[in-house]
Chain A
């Protein structure tokens, strides 16, 4: 398994501001992803965090709104930029080292006022 931590665990932010969420894994992983879980909804993939290169975004998500960094094989950040109340969600990172497993972090609960 993998031990994944996310910071912050929760935050309350004002609209128009930005928040950077960190994801740290206890060992090197090949794949890292960022997901969003809106209130009462299931998870939606935002992007694949690529080590040493630009992230790959899913339809409906853009780099200007959700810039992602992955400087090495154990760490990634997701920034939620110019926030609005619609960005209130749980943001989760996930990691995969081998095909058969994909583990999720505990999530960051974001409330935008």
Chain B
């Protein structure tokens, strides 16, 4: 099984709707990173979560870390076409920051105007 599972794999929402993407780790997390990737482009760093219960925001995107469940959720409020893309979670596992990221398979988001 995957060390890092993302769900759903793809998502189509109407503009203005809220949505949530989940990322679950099978191993102890040192840190959990969220990125956005547009086709043919590099990864845009959104935020990094490290402590249980920690919540961070980047514009209309909020992410929270549930350390006990080793899970993070990314929530987009009032989605816009500009939110479309592939969202990737990446994890550093273990007890120290090696910087080595293991990635989930990604969630492809389409926002219909």
Q: Which residues of A contact B (CB under 8 A)?
A: 1, 31, 33, 35, 41-45, 48, 58, 92, 94, 96, 99-107, 109
Hey, which chain B residues are within 8 Å of A1, CB to CB?
45
> Please, which residue of chain B has its CB at the minimum distance from the CB of A93?
B42
Within 8 Å by CB of B48, from A48, A100, A105, A109, lies A100
A42–B98 Cα distance when bound, in Å, is 20
Determine the chain B residues whose CB is within 8 A of the CB of A102 once the complex forms. 33, 45, 48, 90, 99, 101
Instruction: Determine if B45 and A101 form an interchain contact, defined as CB atoms under 8 angstroms apart.
Output: yes
Interface size on B, residues (CB 8 A): 22
Q: How distant is the Cα of A107 from the Cα of B22 in the complex, in angstroms?
A: 26
Contact among A96, A100, A104 with B42 in the assembled complex (CB-CB below 8 Å):
A104
B102 contacts partner chain A, Cβ-Cβ < 8 Å:
yes
12 contacts between A and B (CB under 8 A): A41-B105, A42-B103, A42-B105, A48-B99, A58-B100, A100-B31, A100-B50, A102-B90, A102-B101, A105-B42, A106-B42, A109-B40
